[in-house]
Structure 1
């Protein structure tokens, strides 16, 4: 079974308008809400691609209930950990002049609820299950929380995929997850060095240092408009991007990770799973707003994805 953990979910509200005008009434053309948070996005993509996962998330208040209703509508299985605090909302204003993203602050979560998270995972997760731990943490929660969660999951025999940034990523690495999925900017931050996307030799060398230091199995390194790398001890695969009309890059990384995890769970080899991951990541940029990849697009792009083995 695949589980995803989202500690800081949100509801993304997209408001489409013609333009922003100071001191005047602005009428929205359309308002669209999406359930969001990296782990939730991974579960949504797994469902879209025909797989099954359970999204574990902290949710609260009216926004949390709306998020659950939206997951119900999509057919995503979830296990909510209810909190007293309202689930946060992001507001994205989409106009002809550009996009304005307003990220609302979340509220502090009690430490008692953090213990509940551990207890719920302990009740659900079994040996050889896959758990995707990803995203930010609620306000006031130390990055060390990810160290403890990943360590516990590994002790229970689960395979852990980890996707976070900054201090959270550093903290999670201490517990040796199986796979991490940083983008080039996140990888540069944890390495303390700015890398050139074009210098794959240096990226591979640095990634293998991380593999050994933190006992990782693989690093899935996304390079934005330059493609992606899969780096393990014995193999390196590179996939260049497809030339596609880009409507929004939001959710491409989550789509990439979801497809890879699903195909690994289904018994595919790394190379084939990596191909599906790139098809999903490319498909995600074809959808507007925070919409994720569509199955028909992924299947259509799959034959166009190229995978090269690097030395």
Structure 2
């Protein structure tokens, strides 16, 4: 099972999304076209991996009735899972698309607190899983130490497993240099990480490459939203690709879709720049669909052809 990609989500969510003709304060806002998705960084990655035909296992925490709903949604979507029970309830997030204004409103709760017994059980579940790749993605719940991902990465390195991390702030800083195969911050997360503002594309490229050459991770992929994305490799330099021009329906889970496709390609032996192009295609495909992280495989493949060769 060396090609299996195991994902870890310590703070998953049930994602509810809907449309409203108009969002107004005080007034009752009636919604329609509701969707219910299992969410959270690693969960989204596993869902997209399954859509792309990859072998995956989602390790998740789950508590209360909302945790059971999360499990039901994962099972209904055919995503294999390993659940770590928690005393507090799994969070529920809500996204409303204001059709009149063309705006999207996201409401994201903090989520439950985990006890030491619970987060240690999550580490044990990850260690017991089979798979050559691990993608740890999302925020850490309250009660979990900042070095949690660093511990998980060190465990993976000892077992010869490839560890990918998508988080921010202190948990990201603590894990740098722990043998990470890939990190994928947004530009805002990257600036907070390096403590500088890079106003030009040249300065952005230089900052990304410097982090890769310092050994923070083998690959540094930075998503820039409408401005595309950057890939930095210590040995090959920087590749910048523009965002694909696609009709935008929703942006929730686009970064997770990017990460899923990139890791999927890396796991099957594709070179980093080719994997990066697959990530770009999947992120754009996710934007074209409502709900959380719903790119279609055929859309990803078509968009990858649009990108063309990468050098």
TM-score scaled by structure 2?
0.91
Other-structure match for 2:158: 155
Other-structure match for 1:239: 241
SS at match of 1:81: strand
Structure 1, unpaired ranges of 5+? none
CA contact (8 A) 2:6 2:58 kept: yes
> Quick one: distance in 2 between partners of 1:21 and 1:241?
32
> Quick one: distance in 2 between partners of 1:307 and 1:270?
13
> Quick one: distance in 1 between partners of 2:67 and 2:153?
25
Structure 2, unpaired ranges of 5+? none
The CA deviation at 1:186 is 1.1
Per-residue deviation, residues 78-132 of structure 1 (Å, max 9, x unmatched): 1111112110001223333433322223121110111111211221246xx1100
The CA deviation at 1:26 is 4.1
Given the superposition, is the C-alpha separation of residues 285 and 58 from structure 1 closer, same or farther in structure 2, using an over 3 Å criterion? same
Per-residue deviation, residues 216-262 of structure 1 (Å, max 9, x unmatched): 21111222212122211222322222222212222111111100111
> Quick one: distance in 2 between partners of 1:146 and 1:80?
18
Structural RMSD (CA) = 1.9
Per-residue deviation, residues 172-193 of structure 1 (Å, max 9, x unmatched): 2152412111121111110101
SS at match of 1:278: helix
Given the superposition, is the C-alpha separation of residues 94 and 227 from structure 1 closer, same or farther in structure 2, using an over 3 Å criterion? closer
Does residue 214 (structure 1) correspond to residue 215 (structure 2)? The answer is yes
The CA deviation at 1:308 is 5.0
SS at match of 1:287: coil
Per-residue deviation, residues 145-175 of structure 1 (Å, max 9, x unmatched): 1221111111221111111111221122152
> Quick one: distance in 2 between partners of 1:85 and 1:306?
47
What are the equivalent positions in structure 2 for 1:141-290 lying under 5 Å apart? 141-196=144-199, 198-199=200-201, 201-235=202-236, 236-290=238-292
CA contact (8 A) 1:239 1:308 kept: no
Does residue 60 (structure 1) correspond to residue 63 (structure 2)? The answer is yes
> Quick one: distance in 2 between partners of 1:253 and 1:38?
9
Does residue 121 (structure 1) correspond to residue 122 (structure 2)? The answer is no
TM-score scaled by structure 1?
0.91
> Quick one: distance in 1 between partners of 2:248 and 2:31?
23
Given the superposition, is the C-alpha separation of residues 75 and 292 from structure 1 closer, same or farther in structure 2, using an over 3 Å criterion? same
Does residue 4 (structure 1) correspond to residue 7 (structure 2)? The answer is yes
SS at match of 2:74: helix
The CA deviation at 1:203 is 2.5
Does residue 38 (structure 1) correspond to residue 41 (structure 2)? The answer is yes
Per-residue deviation, residues 129-148 of structure 1 (Å, max 9, x unmatched): 11001110112322121221
Given the superposition, is the C-alpha separation of residues 307 and 50 from structure 1 closer, same or farther in structure 2, using an over 3 Å criterion? same
Q: How many residues in Structure 1 have an aligned counterpart in Structure 2? A: 305
